[in-house]
Structure 1
Amino acid sequence: MTDWAQVRVAGFEVPDDRPVGELVAELTGMLRSPDPMVRDKQAYSVLATWIGRGVLPAQQLRALGDEMVPRFGDSEIQARTFAPLVLDAIVSAGVYEPSWVPPYERWYVAEDDLRGYDVKLGWLHAVAHGADLLGTLGLHSAVEPVQMLRLGIGRLLTPTDYVFRDMEDDRLGYALAATLTRRELADSDVVEWLDPALRAFSNPPVEGIAPEVTNTIRTLRALYVFVDHGVRVPASAADVTQIPQGDAVKTKIAEVLRVVTPYYL
Structure 2
Amino acid sequence: MTDWSGIEAADYAIPADRDLEELTGELSRALADPDPGIRDGAAYSVLATWIERGVIDGPRRLALGDEMAARFDDPEIQARTFAPLVLDMLVGKGDLRPEWVDAFARWYPAEEDLRGHDEKLGWLHAVAHGADLLAVFGRHAEVDPVRMLDLAAARLTAPTDHVLDQLEDDRLARAVARVLIRPDLTEHEATAWLDVIAADFGADAPGAPVPAHLSNCLRTLRMVYVLADRGVRMTREGEPQPLPHGPAVKARLAEVLDRIVRR
Normalised-by-shorter TM-score class = over 0.9
CA shift at 1:64, angstroms?
A: 0.6
Please give the per-residue CA displacement for 1:21-41, whole angstroms capped at 9, x wherever unaligned.
211111111122110010111
CA shift at 1:193, angstroms?
A: 0.6
**Could you tell me which residue of structure 1 aligns to residue 226 of structure 2?**
225
1:108 aligned partner, one-letter code: Y
Distance in 2, Cα, partners of 1:236 & 1:53: 21
2:83 aligned partner, one-letter code: A
Aligned length: 262
**Could you tell me which residue of structure 1 aligns to residue 43 of structure 2?**
43
Distance in 2, Cα, partners of 1:13 & 1:227: 43
Distance in 1, Cα, partners of 2:15 & 2:170: 37
**Could you tell me which residue of structure 1 aligns to residue 209 of structure 2?**
208
Distance in 2, Cα, partners of 1:11 & 1:174: 32
Residues 236 and 58 (structure 1 numbering): CA distance in 2 closer, same or farther, change over 3 Å?
A: farther
SS at match of 2:25: helix
Distance in 2, Cα, partners of 1:164 & 1:68: 24
Distance in 2, Cα, partners of 1:170 & 1:50: 29
CA shift at 1:239, angstroms?
A: 3.0
**Could you tell me which residue of structure 2 aligns to residue 182 of structure 1?**
182
1:27 aligns with 2:27: yes
Which stretch of structure 1 is more off in the superposition, 197-206 or 220-229? 197-206
CA shift at 1:19, angstroms?
A: 2.0
CA shift at 1:207, angstroms?
A: 4.0
1:191 aligns with 2:191: yes
**Could you tell me which residue of structure 1 aligns to residue 104 of structure 2?**
104
CA contact (8 A) 2:36 2:122 kept: yes
Distance in 1, Cα, partners of 2:144 & 2:237: 23
**Could you tell me which residue of structure 1 aligns to residue 56 of structure 2?**
56
SS at match of 2:94: coil
Distance in 1, Cα, partners of 2:83 & 2:199: 32
Unaligned runs of 5+ in 2: none
Which stretch of structure 1 is more off in the superposition, 10-19 or 236-245? 10-19
CA shift at 1:262, angstroms?
A: 5.0
SS at match of 1:73: coil
Distance in 2, Cα, partners of 1:229 & 1:255: 19
Please give the per-residue CA displacement for 1:33-52, whole angstroms capped at 9, x wherever unaligned.
11001011133222122212
CA contact (8 A) 2:5 2:43 kept: no
CA contact (8 A) 2:169 2:219 kept: yes
Task: Report percent identity of matched pairs.
Answer: 50
| TM score, norm. by length of structure 2 | 0.95
**Could you tell me which residue of structure 2 aligns to residue 123 of structure 1?**
123
1:130 aligned partner, one-letter code: G
| TM score, norm. by length of structure 1 | 0.94
2:227 aligned partner, one-letter code: F
1:161 aligns with 2:161: yes
Alignment RMSD? 1.5
CA shift at 1:13, angstroms?
A: 3.5
**Could you tell me which residue of structure 1 aligns to residue 91 of structure 2?**
91
CA contact (8 A) 2:177 2:224 kept: yes
Distance in 1, Cα, partners of 2:170 & 2:54: 29
Distance in 2, Cα, partners of 1:60 & 1:84: 17
2:150 aligned partner, one-letter code: R
Distance in 1, Cα, partners of 2:6 & 2:49: 15
Distance in 2, Cα, partners of 1:243 & 1:129: 23
**Could you tell me which residue of structure 1 aligns to residue 257 of structure 2?**
257
Please give the per-residue CA displacement for 1:75-105, whole angstroms capped at 9, x wherever unaligned.
1000000111100110011011111111111
Distance in 2, Cα, partners of 1:60 & 1:83: 16
Distance in 1, Cα, partners of 2:249 & 2:26: 45
Distance in 2, Cα, partners of 1:49 & 1:228: 35
CA shift at 1:237, angstroms?
A: 4.8
